[in-house]
Amino acid sequence: MADLITADYLEIDPATAERRQIYRMLVGSVVPRPIGWASTVDGNGRTNLAPFSFFTVVCVVPPMISLTIARNPDGSEKHTLKNVRQTGEFCFNIVTEPVWKEMVDSANGFPEGDSEFAKTGLTPIPCVKIKPPRVAEVPIHFECKLHQVIELGPNRHPLVIGEVVFMHVDPACMTNGYIDMRKLNPVGRLNGFFYSTLGEILERKFDDGQAR
């Protein structure tokens, strides 16, 4: 422990560091990150599909998830955010190993109006309560209604919070009522051009003092 305390660390002050350096430290340290693969439609009903790795669950009752959708370098909004603002809806699709390459390809800079479903060969299928389609090739989908867009910091970095209004879960990825990670086989985001599967799954029980 003494060696750790006296080690020579790279010292970074976000107030003076370059934005790119801050980004590299964050995305290289907070890993692996779940991927929010969001499908949307624009006001004309044209489909869009894009992955975002600043994604998490934020509430259980009601169920809510968040997507942080960075602006384009020129400050304009990405297609996903524009669509969510227009329609108030998006669908979150769980990324699994069989379609991880298609997920990456859906991040390419296609012109607005071009469908990533068509570009990647993925299959859009209808949702129940929202207009955006879901990805047929994955086993879990969360249909979401927009709850709030919070713009953070001087660059107005958009944090999208959506309420989950309907869920689709393939029983094939479940065991005894729980989602089975070995059956689901999700993919996480690392940094650069790197992604990860779960690898070895560790288990250690704990007692949080709550009645079960």
CATH of the domain at 48: 2.30.110.10
61 in any annotated domain: yes
195 in any annotated domain: no
Give the Cα separation of 202 and 115 in Å (integer).
39
205 in any annotated domain: no
Q: Which helix (H) or strand (E) holds 102?
A: helix 100-105
What pLDDT is attached to residue 90? 98
49 in any annotated domain: yes
Provide DSSP, 110-177: PPTT--HHHHHT--EE--SSSSS-EETTSSEEEEEEEEEEEEETTTTEEEEEEEEEEEEE-GGGEETT
Could you list the pLDDT tens digit for every one of the 212 residues in the chain? 555 666 788 999 999 999 999 999 999 999 999 999 999 999 999 999 999 999 999 999 999 999 999 898 888 999 999 999 999 999 999 999 999 999 999 999 888 889 999 999 999 999 999 999 999 999 999 999 999 999 999 889 999 999 999 999 999 999 999 999 999 999 999 999 999 999 999 999 998 777 55
51 in any annotated domain: yes
26 in any annotated domain: no
22 in any annotated domain: no
Number of domains in the chain: 1
As a 3-state breakdown, the chain gives helix, strand, coil percent values, each rounded to 5, of 20, 30, 45
Cβ proximity of 145 and 160 under 8 Å: no
167 in any annotated domain: yes
Residue 39 domain boundaries = 34-189
